[in-house]
Chain A
Amino acid sequence: MKLIADHLTYEYNKDTTLAVKALDDVSLVIAQGEMIGLIGHTGSGKSTLVQHLNALLTPDSGTVYFDGEDVFEKEYDRKKLRGKVGLVFQYPEHQLFEETVFQEVCFGPKNMGVSRKQSELSAYVALKQAGVPDECFYQSPFDLSGGQKRRVAIASVLAMKPEILILDEPTAGLDPRGRYEILTQIRKLKEENNVTVILVSHSMEDVAEYVDRIVVMDHGKIKYDDKPRQVFAHYKELETMGLAAPQVTYLMHELREHGMDVDTNVTTIEEAKEALLGKWKQRETK
């Protein structure tokens, strides 16, 4: 399984004074089992890009290959593709419509043409994976809390058993705990089922800890595509794009400026803790 975006270009409101180039010659290769953070300021084109990856939008030029096949080919089965490249939209709880949570989650697999039994089984597994508690299964999705609704919506995509899971701002509008829980659940999912995950976000903080590759977009172009620490090394440039490196990066740079010899490349709080404690111990033994 390999997903390739090949020189994608896309423009909104074409031929009007409001024309915006949302994608400008974007190329990207996504390999099996990766966990990628797609970062960019509002309007940088990240949502537009992911909608191309499952063929919801058709590019003005360029194309997308899934498993070596051009997904914009006339004969290509894009419905099947959408089952394999699962896209969870921003605020996915706004798409709920069924009477019960369970039926809601069955919608995806049913559309994929899976038998009723099989789709119920997938729905059950997906609800578990998304961390929806059992007592919610037969409630109306509209009676749930915001965080629970979000989980149900994520489960409804998971139930199609996608090989690639794309989440557009999965934690927008959630409290820190909900945020942490959802991101941890996604990581667990990736580790247990070897699903490729693309996390779309404008917050470095959110993503740094969970991904092993970061793609930074700005004005419809890919600016950086590298390991988190390499990307965060450009923290000054990130700021000019309206983004920011994680707070620990700033802390470490500040400490170094004040004469403490620390590794400025750390990206997570955990790493920073280790680095600082190490320094502390060195000092004590001296």
Chain B
Amino acid sequence: MIRDITLGQYYQTDSVVHRLDPRTKLIATFAYLVSLFLGTNLYVYVLAFAFLAVAVKASRVPVKFIVRGMKAIVFLMLVTVVINMFVIKGEPILTIGKLTITREGVRTAVYMALRLTFLIMGSSIMTLTTTPNQLTDALESILKPLKIFKFPAHEISMMMSIALRFIPILLEETDKIMKAQLARGADFESGNVIKKAKSLVPVLVPLFISAFRRANDLALAMEARCYRGGEGRTKMKPLHYAKRDAAVYLYVCAYLVLIYAAGHYIPKFW
């Protein structure tokens, strides 16, 4: 059940995307997420879809696996779609009682759903192809220039990587605790919302305790190995850009230009 959430999990295989420098992937992903907000017309989304499709294909992560990760946000998406459909004012196309669905509403709803899907898929491609360790290294390296302003780049990236690293662990833990309580006759499915929420107490309490225990253990282990922050710390695997990274940067730039053009210079047609 809970294992189906793929967000934040690494998919082990060998592909061009896996081999890319994590900085490249991080910046490309960021650029992609920004690009989704550069315009709202069909062309923008077609381009965004094409970019995503190429990335997915190159990453050699099965599409099934990425789509499975979407299950987690289906509910959020439905809510967004429904609310947008009814709330946005414009030319009415269907009236049910006091509620009116407008043409503009439908359009925004569809775009919102697409945008959300692309957002999640785009970021999962990065987390699926990059180990948390690589991601931290990339983040630290990108944020390093901010050190002049006393920005704790190393500390922030360390916190991020620990948080990311703990996602699958805590998911697994949740799965285990849920099973243990199911084995004691717990019921998470039946009853109304309040009853359902109450039935989660036997899962959440042990989960919190376990999270604190793990955090404590981790802090101890880090201190036992004399961890004291980023000052003078060297890397076992320093990051190096390769030619393929340059190619990807060029490709991303071209994509951004195209998206911007599509969003601003092509007239809306729907």
Whether the pair B186, A111 counts as a contact (CB closer than 8 A) is yes
The answer, among A89, A107, A142, for a CB contact under 8 Å with B202, is A107
**Interfacial residues of chain A within 128-169, with CB under 8 A of chain B in the complex:** 142, 156-157, 160
Shortest CB–CB separation between residue B211 and chain A, in angstroms? Answer: 11
- By size class, the interface of chain A is 20 to 34
In angstroms, how far is the closest chain A Cβ from the Cβ of B129? 13
A residues near B177, Cβ cutoff 8 Å: 94-95
Answer whether A97 and B185 are a contact pair too, CB < 8 Å, given A16-B62, A18-B12: no
Cβ proximity bits B82-106 to A, threshold 8 Å, 1 near / 0 not: 0000000000000000000000000
Residues on B with C-beta less than 8 A from A15 are 62, 64-65
Q: Does B179 contact A (CB under 8 A)?
A: yes
Interface flag for A51 (CB, 8 Å): yes
- Cβ-based interface call for B181 (8 A): yes
B64 — which chain A residues lie within 8 A by C-beta? Answer: 15
Name B181's contact: one of A16, A54, A95, A110 (CB within 8 Å). A95
Contact A17 B184 (CB under 8 A): no
Q: Quick one: which of B11, B179, B201, B205 contacts A89, CB cutoff 8 A? A: B179
Given known A-B contacts A16-B65, A97-B201, A97-B202, A89 and B12 have beta carbons under 8 A apart? no
Interfacial residues of chain A within 94-142, with CB under 8 A of chain B in the complex: 94-97, 107-108, 110-112, 142
CB-nearest residue of chain B relative to A14? B64
**How far does the alpha carbon of A83 sit from the alpha carbon of B185 in the complex, in Å?**
6
- Asked if B167 lies at the interface with its beta carbon under 8 angstroms from chain A, I say no
Contacts of B62 in A (CB 8 A): 15-16
The B-contacting residues of A in range 69-88, CB under 8 angstroms, are 79, 82-83, 86-88
Knowing A15-B62, A17-B12, A97-B206, say if A89 contacts B187 (CB, 8 Å).
no
| Residues of chain A contacted by B179 (CB below 8 angstroms) | 51, 56, 89
| Given A17-B12, A96-B206, CB of A56 within 8 Å of CB of B183 | yes
Query: How far, in whole Å, are A17 and B60 apart by their CA atoms in the complex?
Result: 11
Can you list, as one digit per residue, whether each of A154-191 has a CB less than 8 Å from chain B (1) or not (0)?
A: 00110010000000000000000000000000000000
| B13: interface (CB < 8 Å) | yes
A246 interface residue, CB < 8 Å from B? Answer: no
B183 and A79 contact, CB distance less than 8 A? no
Contacts of A96 in B (CB 8 A): 206
Chain B CB within 8 A of A40 CB: no
B209, CB-defined interface residue at 8 Å: yes
- In the complex, A110→B202 CA distance in Å? 13
* Count of interface residues, chain B, beta-carbon cutoff 8 Å: 23
Please measure, in the bound complex, the distance between the C-alpha atom of A160 and the C-alpha atom of B185, giving whole angstroms.
Answer: 9
Contact A54 B183 (CB under 8 A): yes
Asked if A37 is an interface residue, CB under 8 A from chain B, the answer is no
A94 proximity list for chain B (CB < 8 A): 176-177, 180, 206, 209-210
With A15-B65, A17-B12 known as contacts, the answer to whether A108 contacts B209 (CB < 8 A) is: no
Known: A111-B185, A111-B186. A95 touches B65 (CB 8 A): no
Tell me whether A157 and B206 are in contact in the complex, defined as CB-CB below 8 angstroms, given that A17-B11, A17-B12, A17-B13 are known contacts: no
Q: Determine if B222 is an interface residue (Cβ-Cβ < 8 Å).
A: no
- In the complex, the answer to whether B182 meets A108 with C-beta atoms within 8 Å is no
Contact of B187 among A16, A97, A111 (CB under 8 A): A111
**Interface centre among B187, B201, B205, by most A CB within 10 Å?**
B205
List, sorted by A's number, 24 A–B pairs whose CB atoms are closer than 8 Å. A16-B11, A18-B12, A51-B179, A56-B182, A82-B184, A87-B183, A88-B183, A89-B179, A94-B177, A94-B180, A94-B209, A95-B177, A95-B184, A97-B201, A97-B202, A97-B206, A107-B185, A108-B184, A108-B185, A110-B185, A142-B209, A156-B184, A157-B183, A160-B184
Mark A residues whose CB is within 8 Å of B. Answer: 15-18, 51, 54, 56, 79, 82-83, 86-89, 92, 94-97, 107-108, 110-112, 142, 156-157, 160
6 more contacts with CB within 8 A, not counting A16-B62, A94-B176, are: A17-B11, A82-B183, A94-B180, A94-B210, A97-B205, A111-B186
Question: Residues of B at under 8 Å CB distance from A?
Answer: 11-13, 62, 64-65, 176-177, 179-187, 201-202, 205-206, 209-210
